[in-house]
Amino acid sequence: MAKFIPLSVPNFEGHEKEYVSDAVVSEWVSTGGSKVGDFEKVFADYVGMPRAVACNSGSSAMHLTALVAGIGRGDEVIVPTLTFIASINPVTRYVGAEPVFIGCDDSLCIDPAAVEAFCRDKCELRPEGLFDKATGAHVKALEVVHVFGNLADMEALMDIAEKYHLIVIEDACEAVGSYFTKGRYAGRMAGTIGDVAGYSFNGNKIITTGAGGMVVSNHPDWAEHAKHLSTQAKSDELQFFHDEVGYNYRLTNLQAALGLAQMETLETFITRKKEFYDRYVQALDGKNGYRILPFKEDVSRSNHWFYSLYLEDDRHKRDEVIGALKEGSIQARPVWALIHEQADYGSCQAYSLEKAQDYRARIVNLPCSTNLTQEDQQRVIDLLLSL
Ligand SMILES: Cc1ncc(COP(=O)(O)O)c(C=O)c1O
């Protein structure tokens, strides 16, 4: 049986064991201890923000973004349909809001033209904000997801948000380390452009704390509010007073120890991801009915987190390719089922879906772990070329 090649697994080749062991020896393994604050500081410095708030998952980070943005019952949020479910549930159902789904452009991220068309044609702009003509609801925010680490068209999206008075929530869960190199946001990292953003350190992400997340905001008081909500909204040191409904969304000292070590190797991981990506492009793009979907290399430095093999004609069927790779002990997966078709979202408004449907039908995500060997990658390539 050939060696199993996983899709995306953690890589602990740095100081992880040492830092986690320090935490164990110090006996600060839960939510106290110095490493959470250290990790927040290192992460904030890396993304160029004054403050970062650690929490226990990307999902809780996204929930906190919606809470501090003041999104609540009856509000509407414009969201992409091509994303992971945890982009959507926390900023809509968890806070009682309603999504309006929009398809993607060729970056796989939300399509600015379709967002604009919804705001212009389906809504009315009043002094108090944007209102959906069909439902009467306040369209309060736009959520942008940087899919697979590829940056969305933030210039266009921020312009639309400004014009229509929308709060911008960035889901940068997959885009730690991606930043613009050109244009209005040159030098700005994913997650630092909108009003508020969340990141994920789940096990399959470019760096991991086992499970974990981070929130940043361009409003200092929102960041502080996120911290407060993530720590049970406790308003004093001793008496256990709580001034609103909070959550136990804290990261542990053990997880932060992992995160500190991972931050030290993040840039190495990003360099490697690009090398693997380039190798897939060279070997597969334009061959045998395959394309490797591009990242925005001309305007950004992407983290190249997840690679997308696109089946450009009917020579190959997505699930057959995945099945053939599985037969060869290689893990691959389709892009997510579109969210507007999922339980609880079936009756929501959804617009400009053609590209999202096409990418959903034709993408296969290929192994991309930072510890993928050249031989393993060659095995993936050879198998694909043999189909
Ligand atoms: C786009 C996106 N949003 C949200 C999440 C949620 O993060 P987590 O799994 O850490 O809760 C993930 C990752 O899983 C993600 O890929």
Whole-prediction pTM: 0.98
Alpha carbon of residue 354 to chain centroid = 22
Q: In the predicted model, what is the mean pLDDT of the chain?
A: 97
**Protein residues whose CB sits closer than 6 Å to any atom of ligand 1:** 57-59, 62, 83-84, 86-87, 145, 171, 173-174, 200, 202, 211, 213
- Minimum CA distance residue for ligand 1 atom 12: 173
Q: Where in the chain is the domain with CATH 3.90.1150.10?
A: 266-386
Query: Which atom of ligand 1 is the closest one to the Cα of 59?
Result: 11
The stretch 278-299 carries a mean pLDDT of 98
Q: DSSP code of 4?
A: P
Q: Can you tell me the distance from the alpha carbon of 251 to that of 61, in angstroms, rounded to the nearest whole number?
A: 11
Q: How confident is the model at residue 1 (pLDDT cuts 50, 70, 90)?
A: confident
* Ligand 1 nearest-atom number relative to CA 62: 4
What's the one-letter identity of residue 307?
A: Y
96 Cα: distance to centroid of ligand 1 (angstroms): 20
Mean pLDDT along residues 234-261? 96
Q: How confident is the model at residue 112 (pLDDT cuts 50, 70, 90)?
A: very high
Nearest Cα residue to atom 7 of ligand 1: 58
The ranges of the chain annotated as CATH 3.40.640.10 are 16-261
pLDDT for the residue numbered 117: 98
136-160, pLDDT tens digit by residue? 999 999 999 999 999 999 999 999 9
Cα separation, 126 vs 129, whole angstroms: 5
Measured in Å, residue 150 CA sits from the centre of ligand 1 at 15
Cα 171 to averaged position of ligand 1 atoms, centre (Å): 8
Instruction: Please say if the pLDDT value at position 225 is more than 90.
Output: yes
Q: pLDDT tens digit string along 199-220? A: 999 999 999 999 999 999 999 9
Q: pLDDT class for 368, splitting at 50, 70, 90?
A: very high
CA distance 38 to 45: 11
Protein residue with its CA nearest to atom 3 in ligand 1: 87
* 62 C-alpha to ligand 1 centroid (Å): 9
CATH fold of the domain at 266-386: Aspartate Aminotransferase, domain 1 (3.90.1150)
pLDDT tens digits for range 253-273: 999 999 999 999 999 999 999
5 alpha carbon to ligand 1 midpoint, in Å?
22
DSSP string covering 197-239, please? EEEE--TTSSS--SS-EEEEESSHHHHHHHHHHHBTTB-SSSS
Per residue in 323-333, pLDDT (tens digit) is: 999 999 999 99
CATH of domain 16-261: 3.40.640.10
| Whole-number Å distance between alpha carbons of 152 and 108 | 8
- Give the per-residue pLDDT at 256: 98
